[in-house]
Chain A
């Protein structure tokens, strides 16, 4: 589903991603962990071309998205993204947030988009908030709306960049629960998170990054019990 070959990304002189090779299968849930500044967000943002890779190749499905002629808009309606700080549109109601892109990008009829939107809000447990503006919602509710908004485009891949890092502790679970049930539907997911318990439980595979490099990849059981690299051992010692 996703194939990354020799991916490099620099910001000016700063080399942030160095020779990343990775491949992610359809329906797989991959959790990316690593210390802050190791390039996890940048890696994720390369996958939907929010960042333009400096060199290397990324294939999504059959398409080489790193090809200069490739239209990023086409990619992005197929790859949903959820941000740490939600970025809901504050001037739109919850339902409008969810239906905006299906209507304006996919050209869905308003009535159809609303129906789908309500179903999605139902799924994330917020159908009663459809007409509220985002500033009336708690952080956890905002993030669940953001997930529904991304899902409304019916993407085949979902990217999560620290979706619970900006939340009060008591709200983390409600968001992780939504993500868990999404994982059960067979959605392909790439998740950057510091929630190690969640990673262990939900991930099919762990990617560990440090210093812009992909240091280790393993299934969660072996990664959390016996990480093979020294850097991963040090990292786990600090966070667990």
Chain B
């Protein structure tokens, strides 16, 4: 019988391995927890950078200037079409060739995540703007409202309703994906749990602990997102 055999096999693996021992990582827990701040800093600053750049790119995309539209589309296409870890490694390891100096891993992480999420965020904002009823633009135009004011006062506030939930998702993705900064040596949650693992020769416990931290962070963001969404809906 297949199923019990497989189960026996996996049971055997666990029995054959070392039993889990969370006690031995307790002294290292503060060290890992301090990584939350590192991760948060990267995610928040990169998020803000991505948001600002994303707004600019999205305005290029919906604007009438062909060159800008082309640049924004090409930008998005490239950053969405290549692995994030590749972008991160290019920015970090090739920084002497790119910028003439070796930048800090931390800076490279913020740059890579900021530039990458700008591509996704610009698509989110573009879609959010296009989802606003075209009549809104016409009504503003018919009142003689100039383009910039129309965008700022009429279109963007309404687009925000479509944008915010998707933006929250992007932020959650960013939080999880930020774990790859470990490849350039940023001491985030991931890296720290890996370090603890190599010190104690036991990886499962610190990695599970890191997983728990990420999961809680994502849950908090999800709840916050739901709350914001609820608030927006109430103002409808």
A residues bordering B, Cβ < 8 Å? 48, 50, 73-77, 79-81, 83, 85, 87-91, 100-101, 104-105, 135, 146, 149-150, 153
A76:B144 contact, CB within 8 angstroms: yes
Q: Report the separation of the CA atoms of residues A165 and B139 in the bound assembly, to the nearest whole angstrom.
A: 17
B139:A89 contact, CB within 8 angstroms: yes
Residue of B133, B145, B158, B235 touching A101 (CB-CB under 8 A): B145
Q: Determine the chain A residues whose CB is within 8 A of the CB of B138 once the complex forms.
A: 50, 83, 87
* Residue interface bits B118-144, CB-to-A below 8 A is 1, else 0: 000000000000000101101111111
Q: Report the separation of the CA atoms of residues A116 and B140 in the bound assembly, to the nearest whole angstrom.
A: 19
Q: Does B146 contact A (CB under 8 A)?
A: yes
Q: Report the separation of the CA atoms of residues A81 and B139 in the bound assembly, to the nearest whole angstrom.
A: 8
Q: Does B185 contact A (CB under 8 A)?
A: no
Residue of A85, A104, A135 touching B153 (CB-CB under 8 A): A104
Q: Report the separation of the CA atoms of residues A82 and B146 in the bound assembly, to the nearest whole angstrom.
A: 18
Known: A91-B158, A153-B144. A83 touches B153 (CB 8 A): no
Chain A: minimal CB distance from B159 (Å): 11
A-B contact pairs, 28 of them (CB 8 A): A50-B141, A50-B142, A74-B144, A76-B144, A79-B142, A80-B142, A81-B142, A83-B138, A83-B142, A85-B135, A87-B133, A87-B136, A89-B136, A89-B139, A89-B154, A90-B158, A91-B158, A91-B235, A100-B153, A101-B144, A101-B145, A104-B149, A105-B143, A105-B144, A105-B146, A105-B149, A150-B142, A153-B144
* Residue interface bits B57-68, CB-to-A below 8 A is 1, else 0: 000000000000
Residue of A76, A90, A150 touching B141 (CB-CB under 8 A): A76
Query: Size band of the B side of the interface?
Result: 10 to 19
Known contacts A50-B142, A80-B142, A101-B145; 12 further A-B pairs (Cβ under 8 A): A48-B142, A50-B138, A73-B144, A76-B144, A83-B142, A89-B140, A91-B235, A104-B145, A105-B149, A149-B143, A150-B143, A153-B144
Q: Report the separation of the CA atoms of residues A86 and B150 in the bound assembly, to the nearest whole angstrom.
A: 17
Q: Determine the chain A residues whose CB is within 8 A of the CB of B158 once the complex forms.
A: 90-91
Chain A: minimal CB distance from B161 (Å): 9
Which are the 4 A-B pairs with shortest beta-carbon distances? A77-B144, A87-B139, A76-B144, A87-B135
Q: Determine the chain B residues whose CB is within 8 A of the CB of A101 once the complex forms.
A: 143-145
Q: Report the separation of the CA atoms of residues A48 and B144 in the bound assembly, to the nearest whole angstrom.
A: 10
Q: Report the separation of the CA atoms of residues A88 and B154 in the bound assembly, to the nearest whole angstrom.
A: 10
A91:B149 contact, CB within 8 angstroms: no
Q: Report the separation of the CA atoms of residues A225 and B125 in the bound assembly, to the nearest whole angstrom.
A: 55
Q: Determine the chain B residues whose CB is within 8 A of the CB of A85 once the complex forms.
A: 135
Q: Determine the chain A residues whose CB is within 8 A of the CB of B139 once the complex forms.
A: 83, 87-89, 146
Chain A: minimal CB distance from B146 (Å): 6
Q: Report the separation of the CA atoms of residues A90 and B161 in the bound assembly, to the nearest whole angstrom.
A: 12
Q: Does B15 contact A (CB under 8 A)?
A: no
Of all chain A residues, the one with the shortest Cβ separation from B161 is A91
Interface-central residue, A76, A77, A90, by most chain B CB under 10 Å = A90
Interface-central residue, B143, B146, B157, B158, by most chain A CB under 10 Å = B143
Q: Determine the chain A residues whose CB is within 8 A of the CB of B142 once the complex forms.
A: 48, 50, 76, 79-81, 83, 150
Q: Report the separation of the CA atoms of residues A153 and B140 in the bound assembly, to the nearest whole angstrom.
A: 12
A83:B135 contact, CB within 8 angstroms: yes
Q: Determine the chain A residues whose CB is within 8 A of the CB of B143 once the complex forms.
A: 76-77, 80, 100-101, 105, 149-150, 153
Interface-central residue, A77, A80, A89, A105, by most chain B CB under 10 Å = A89
Q: Report the separation of the CA atoms of residues A89 and B88 in the bound assembly, to the nearest whole angstrom.
A: 43
Q: Does B23 contact A (CB under 8 A)?
A: no
Interface-central residue, B139, B144, B154, by most chain A CB under 10 Å = B144
Of all chain B residues, the one with the shortest Cβ separation from A159 is B142
Interface-central residue, B139, B140, B145, by most chain A CB under 10 Å = B139
Q: Does B8 contact A (CB under 8 A)?
A: no
